[in-house]
Amino acid sequence: MSQNDNLLIQIRALLQSDGEKLWEEPYYSEDLGSIEGALENLAQKYSGMLGIDIGRCKFFLTELQENALRTLAARREFSTTGIATLKVRRVGEHSGATMVEVKCSLDIVGSELQACIAKKLEVPNAAHVKCIAAGKVVSANATLADQQLKNNQQLIVIVGDGDNSGEALYERINRIKADVEAVVSSKNNLIEMEDQNGSQVYLPPSEHKALLMGLGFCEKARAAMNRKHFEEALLLLLEADEHFSTCGSKFLESVDNYALLNLDIVWCYFCLKNVTQLPDAEHRLARCSRNFGISYGDNLERLYSLKGKDCPERALIMRLKLLQGVIFFHQNLRNQAFECFEAAKTLLNELKINNDQLALLVDMGFEPSEARMALRSCKGGTAVEQAVQFIHERRQQLKNARMKYKASERAMERRLKRSNSKDCTWVNPRSVCSLADMGFESGLATIALQRSNNDILQAVELLQTESDELTGASPWFPVTVDTTKLAQLLQLGFNENDSRVALQNASNNMEEAIESLMCAIESEEELKAILKHVGRLAENGGQNLDGPSTSNASGQTQVALPAPIIEAVINHARVEIETYKAYERFNSDLKLSDLEYLDLPLIQEEKILTEYFNMLQQ
């Protein structure tokens, strides 16, 4: 932020306080234009109050007057013609900032606005222009009026220019969106929610997918922020915000993920040197502060009681206080800004660590992020021995929590696609087999797994404590397995016991049985093996010519498999293999640390704090 910006803020505040209107007499006349003498007198008054040169003060007053006159002219034009004026600011780390005005009807759709802006900015592909208004990406398919855009509104524009390893930002964002959708939607559920202690988080199916999508975009946005690609991060965070908004407000207020999302969006605004989104930034910081208050306590008392006063979450509070101070500063609420900056400075001093101790821990083989957070969590970062103990205890805590979810066939639970309510009835055939091996009746095991969302440990508890209730409530009747269909599943390469259970659960519906078996596959390697085996079947006209016998384990003579069955398995396998590839891309630039979001080096924050403190003192 420049000294000129600082002076403009103060002069604008003085004008508002004094009720001076530069677009009216005595400062402006429709017949005479700008009245120099009146502006000169006002400049003399304000220059003395601000301690600046009269000529410089008059320059700023003239600039503010011209801006006001342009706004007034745009308002008149809109009232008479319906043509709106939109003030568009292009932002980006590599392109600097460009401000242009675009005139259009608010009845046009977003894609037409993109075309107008692309023409103004000489961008060859209008689809690469992303407009953000009031904290939302402007949709290409809805009208501007329907999206609540207004005359004289300020927009920011991000244009992918190919700086991301030769790949345009537009294509990169679209690929990330496709990968997140594929990973979250897969029935081989590859990502799941954990709390900070490593325990899984369960939600109603209607909210589960939306939240997972939002968290996926947040993770990719954080990776972009670590690379200082803030324009990419902002677009991903706004995508996350769209998904979070579909979750219940009570839930969002109870977790700090949503607070962090809003904090990150405002941080991106700031790093892109964009103050045009000031109202949205103020709203988001208020939401962040409110959510932190619910999660941590109004004075962080709940957080401190759980984790002690040296917890790493203080880094988030420091950034929040800093950004709140910036908002107050740009509103010329200088006393409130000073209070926020003072609070941020106190936290910053508490969070500073000894660089020699950090280097020593890294030399010992610890990751910089976990070393930094351990030092901050141990008496202000003064004891290397305590930091080492903290890291080991933290690792063991996560290991113990996650071990509870790895026992027996628990890994199968993650294959349940919770993102669709109908999938709550899907039962993993392997889990049924495991429960049958323990001595439980397979029909009751199926009902118990349905009720526990395929949580095999909870299913065992239900079978042991509520077997009579399960028996009475169960509509399940034994199904005689169709031996011909069983033989076909065995030819496809599936396990016999799993195939029997799948056919029973699907009432011998072959399509449903195949889908169930495919959902239970645990790895990409197993999928590839199935695909290779079924591919050979297709080449051999549906017959298995690799085996030494013409009969299978069920005693049925092998016959050629129908082409639709082979094709169904091939399609399932290919889709899931592509999902694994999407997961690999998704995970490629993410840090392994589960507390990475708390690992803020705070170097940039310290520079910003110093800059704004200096501005307040001028």
- Domain spans of the chain? 1-73, 172-230+238-270+281-391, 404-478, 479-601
pLDDT higher than 60, residue 166:
no
Structure token pair of residue 318: 């420091």
Question: Would the pLDDT of 431 be above 70?
Answer: yes
Q: Which residues pair with 86 in a beta bridge?
A: 102
Q: What is the pLDDT of residue 476?
A: 54
Q: Beta 154-159 vs 83-90: how paired, if at all?
A: parallel
Token readout for 363 is: 């030399």
Phi (first) and psi of residue 547, to 5 degrees:
-80, 160
Q: Give the mean model confidence (pLDDT) for residues 185-209.
A: 65
Q: What is the mean pLDDT of residues 417-443?
A: 67
DSSP type of residue 344: H
Integer angstrom CA distances of residue 90 from 95, 97, 119, 236:
8, 5, 13, 17
Flag whether pLDDT at 380 surpasses 60.
no
Q: Is the pLDDT of residue 408 over 50?
A: no
Look at residues 459, 413, 415 and name the one whose alpha carbon lies nearest to residue 440: 459
Question: What confidence score (pLDDT) does residue 217 get?
Answer: 93
CA distance 164 to 160: 9
User: 291-329 burial string, b = 16+ CB within 10 Å, else e?
Assistant: bbeebbeeebeebbeebeebbbbbbbbbbbbbbbbbbbb
549/71: higher pLDDT: 71
pLDDT at residue 379, as a whole number = 66
Question: Given pLDDT bands bounded at 50, 70 and 90, which one contains residue 434?
Answer: confident
pLDDT at 253: 65
Q: Which amino acid is at 302?
A: R
Candidates 67, 1, 11; CA nearest to 332 is 11
Q: How confident is the model over 309-323, as pLDDT tens digits? A: 888 889 999 999 999
CA 353, 356, 357: angle at the middle one, nearest 5? 60
Three-state secondary structure call for residue 578: helix
Task: Tell me how far the alpha carbon of residue 255 is from its chain's centroid.
Answer: 14
| pLDDT for 417 | 35
Query: Looking at residue 551, what DSSP letter applies?
Result: B
φ, ψ of residue 595 to 5 degrees: the values are -110, 25
Contact 175, 220 (CB under 8 A): no
Span of 235-239, 303-307, 475-479 with lowest mean pLDDT:
475-479
- Give the per-residue pLDDT at 205: 63
Could you please report the per-residue DSSP string of 24-50?
Answer: STTTEETTTEE-HHHHHHHHHHHHHHH
Q: Tell me the backbone φ, ψ of residue 84, rounded to 5 degrees.
A: -90, 155
According to the model, what pLDDT value does residue 411 have? 38
How many Å apart are CA 258 and CA 596, to the nearest integer? 16
Query: CA–CA distance from 392 to each of 19, 371, 386, 388, 612 (Å)?
Result: 63, 11, 10, 6, 39
Q: Does position 289 have pLDDT exceeding 80, yes or no? A: yes
Q: Which of 111-120, 417-426, 591-600 has the highest mean pLDDT?
A: 111-120
pLDDT score at 555: 52
Q: Across all residues in the chain, what is the average pLDDT?
A: 82
The mean-pLDDT minimum among 102-106, 368-372, 405-409, 426-430 falls in: 405-409
Res. 433: pLDDT tops 50 = yes
pLDDT at residue 422 in the model: 40
Residue 56 predicted with pLDDT over 90: yes
C-alpha 19/C-alpha 458 separation (Å) is 68
Helix (H, G, I), strand (E, B) or coil at 571: helix
Residue 550's contacts (CB-CB under 8 Å, 6 or more residues apart) are: 557, 558
The pLDDT tens digits for 530-579 are 888 888 888 877 676 554 444 454 455 566 788 888 888 888 888 888 88
- Number of Cα atoms under 13 Å in the Cβ half of residue 134: 9
Give the least confident one: 32-46, 325-339, 498-512: 498-512
Which residue type, as a one-letter code, is found at position 441? E
Is 541 in contact with 148 (CB distance < 8 Å)? Answer: no
Q: What is the pLDDT of residue 518?
A: 83
CA separation for the pair 480, 431 (Å, rounded): 20
The pLDDT score that the predictor gives to residue 451 is 82
Kindly indicate the confidence band of residue 198, based on its pLDDT and cuts at 50, 70 and 90. Answer: low
CA 381 to chain centre: 31
State yes or no: pLDDT of 517 exceeds 90.
no
**Residue 386 half-sphere exposure, CB side, CA atoms within 13 Å?**
11
CA–CA dist 484, 316 (Å, integer): 62
pLDDT at 419 exceeding the cut of 60: no
| pLDDT of amino acid 97 | 62
pLDDT category of residue 374 using cuts at 50, 70 and 90 = confident
Q: What does the alpha-carbon distance between residue 155 and residue 87 come to, in Å, rounded to a whole number?
A: 6
Whether the pLDDT of residue 95 is over 80: the answer is no
Express each pLDDT in 464-474 by its tens digit.
888 778 776 66
Closest CA to 271 of 603, 615, 617: 603
Least confident of 71-80, 423-432, 604-613: 423-432
CA distance 388 to 358: 11
User: From residue 132, how far is each of 90, 244, 272 by CA, in Å?
Assistant: 10, 18, 13
pLDDT value at 459 more than 80: yes
The pTM is what?
0.79
Is pLDDT larger for residue 401 or for residue 455? Answer: 455
What is the CATH code for 404-478?
1.10.8
Q: What is the model's pLDDT at position 407?
A: 40
Token pair for 486: 């069983």
CA distances from 565 to 305, 379, 472, 529 (A): 59, 64, 37, 17
